């Protein structure tokens, strides 16, 4: 059953890794948003009939816009469930803004909230294992792609820099995340087209909500886009539907004053400071870490990961490696990453 479903969803190459049936549970837990305790949610995928204690994989999904695409609402296969079929207890957090916390505007590319949604789920799951008599070992793997790559590094940083969590990362793999948001900004202000404008609208609205800036949207976006955005981002539209309603030209998407402010060295300093703070600048991974990225990615440029990797190495990240997926785009590099990743994780 799982083999045929995996093949139908494009993960047929993992047929040989499928050794167990999988029980899937929805877990609600507490995390923190803007300093207050809130309920969050995610999936716990458990291999059935496994005789030995299972390692844990926390798997972080890529960008979603629609509430129906949240792991606890989604009816298809994300690919991450296959880790459970291979013998890993697999956690798939919804993130804040989806599932049990869908009333909140998702704090997109916000490091602290991204990290805590994952770390708090890992910790809350321990009680769940006890209740369900699920036997786990001490190994903890973090895996994510696109936004999930960013969230993976955020969670890893949180675990490695805050011993009070009492967690240890065995290994981490992050693919195609926008780890250097300042570098991303320089691409947006270069005058080139950007093929996925929904991401730009997402991050600006997220920072506006998460930081309680409350700036009017028509201060940031030109019409007709400013008036459309609340409806486009109401949780019922996917990324493609949102993109169709926007423009790929940042100079036409943003107001002239805002766009010029992004380019000027002395304007929009609050936003630029936030982008800097939410980039991975002053930290380097301590655990074995792989950064995956397709060389033909035009949504999150390969250069973004390369610069982050070099920064990590300069800060002494001796266990970090960069794995280029030659000719891989943002949408085609996920399966090759999984292909390389599964044997690597098994090696631990």
The answer to which of 10-24, 128-142, 330-344 has the lowest mean pLDDT is: 10-24
The per-residue pLDDT for 2 is 46
Which has more pLDDT, 143 or 339? 143
Residues 191, 169 within the same domain: no
Average pLDDT of the chain to the nearest whole number: 94
| pLDDT at residue 27 tops 90 | yes
Q: Does one domain contain both 297 and 209?
A: no
Q: Check whether residue 223 and residue 301 sit in a common domain.
A: no
- 216 and 341 inside one domain: no
Give the chain's domain count. 2
163 and 189, same domain (yes or no): no
CA dihedral 162, 166, 169, 174 (to 10 degrees): -50
Q: Does residue 61 register a pLDDT over 80? A: yes
Examine the domain organization and report whether 128 and 155 are in the same domain. Answer: yes
What pLDDT is stored for residue 5 in this prediction? 44
Q: What is the mean pLDDT of residues 183-206?
A: 95
Q: Both 162 and 27 in a single domain?
A: yes
Residue 18's pLDDT is 79
pLDDT at 15: 57
Residues 174 and 138 in one domain: yes
CATH for 244:
1.10.260.160
Q: Note the pLDDT tens digit of each residue in 284-317.
A: 999 999 999 999 999 999 999 999 999 999 999 9
Question: Of 277, 299, 314, which residue is a domain's last?
Answer: 277
Give the CATH number, domain containing residue 70. Answer: 3.40.50.1820
Q: How far is 143 from 263, CA to CA, in rounded Å?
A: 34
Q: Are residues 83 and 151 in the same domain?
A: yes
256 with 314, same domain? no
pLDDT in the model for residue 17: 75
- Compute the C-alpha angle 109/112/115, nearest 5°: 85
13 confidence band (pLDDT: 50, 70, 90): low
- Mean pLDDT calculated for residue range 121-146: 96
pLDDT tops 90 at residue 7: no
The pLDDT-based confidence of 339 (bands split at 50, 70, 90) is confident
From the list 112, 107, 58, the residue with the least C-alpha distance to 283 is: 112
pLDDT digits (tens, 9 = 90+) for 110-120: 999 999 999 99
Q: Average of pLDDT values for 91-106?
A: 98
Could you list the residue range(s) of the whole structural domain that residue 238 is in?
182-277
Question: What is the predicted pLDDT for the residue at 331?
Answer: 94
Inform me whether the pLDDT recorded for 152 exceeds 70. yes
Domain boundary among 234, 260, 277: 277
Whether residue 78 is found in the same domain as residue 144: yes
Check if the beta carbon of residue 71 is closer than 8 Å to that of residue 61: yes
pLDDT at 12: 52
pLDDT of residue 4 exceeding 70? no
Q: How many CB atoms are closer than 10 A to CB 123?
A: 15
Let me know: does 25 contact 128? Beta carbons within 8 Å: yes
Q: Model confidence over 62-71: pLDDT tens digits?
A: 999 999 999 9
Verify that 187 and 176 share a domain, yes or no.
no
Which residue's structure tokens are 């972080």? 60
pTM for this entry: 0.95
Boundary of a domain, candidates 277, 299, 328: 277
């Amino acid at each position: 059953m799982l083999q045929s479903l995996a093949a139908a969803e494009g993960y047929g190459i993992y047929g040989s890794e499928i050794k167990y049936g999988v029980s899937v549970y929805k877990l609600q837990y507490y995390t923190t948003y803007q300093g207050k305790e809130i309920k969050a949610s995610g999936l716990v995928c458990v291999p059935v009939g496994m005789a030995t204690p299972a390692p844990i994989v926390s798997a972080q999904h890529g960008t979603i816009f629609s509430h129906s695409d949240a792991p606890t609402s989604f009816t298809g296969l994300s690919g991450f469930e296959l880790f459970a079929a291979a013998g890993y207890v697999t956690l798939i957090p919804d993130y804040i803004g989806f599932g049990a916390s869908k009333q909140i505007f998702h704090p997109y590319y916000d490091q602290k909230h991204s990290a805590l949604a994952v770390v708090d789920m890992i910790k809350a799951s321990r009680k769940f294992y006890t209740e369900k008599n699920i036997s786990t070992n001490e190994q903890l793997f973090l895996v994510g792609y696109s936004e999930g790559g960013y969230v993976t590094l955020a969670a890893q940083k949180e675990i490695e820099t805050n011993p009070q969590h009492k967690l240890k990362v065995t290994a981490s793999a992050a693919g195609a995340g926008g780890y250097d948001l300042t570098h991303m900004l320089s691409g947006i202000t270069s005058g080139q087209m950007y093929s996925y404008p929904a991401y730009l609208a997402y991050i600006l609205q997220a920072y506006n909500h998460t930081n309680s800036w409350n700036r009017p949207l028509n201060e940031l976006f030109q019409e007709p886009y400013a008036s459309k955005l609340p409806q486009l981002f109401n949780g019922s539209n996917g990324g493609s539907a949102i993109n169709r309603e926007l423009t790929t030209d940042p100079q036409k998407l943003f107001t002239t004053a805002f766009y010029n402010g992004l380019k000027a060295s002395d304007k929009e300093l609050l936003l630029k400071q936030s982008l800097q703070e939410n980039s991975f600048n002053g930290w380097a991974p301590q655990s074995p870490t792989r950064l995956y990225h397709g060389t033909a990615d035009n949504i999150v440029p390969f250069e973004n990961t390369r610069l982050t990797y070099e920064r990590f190495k300069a800060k002494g990240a001796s266990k970090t490696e960069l794995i280029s997926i030659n000719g891989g785009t943002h949408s085609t590099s996920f399966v090759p990453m999984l292909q390389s990743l599964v044997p690597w994780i098994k090696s631990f």
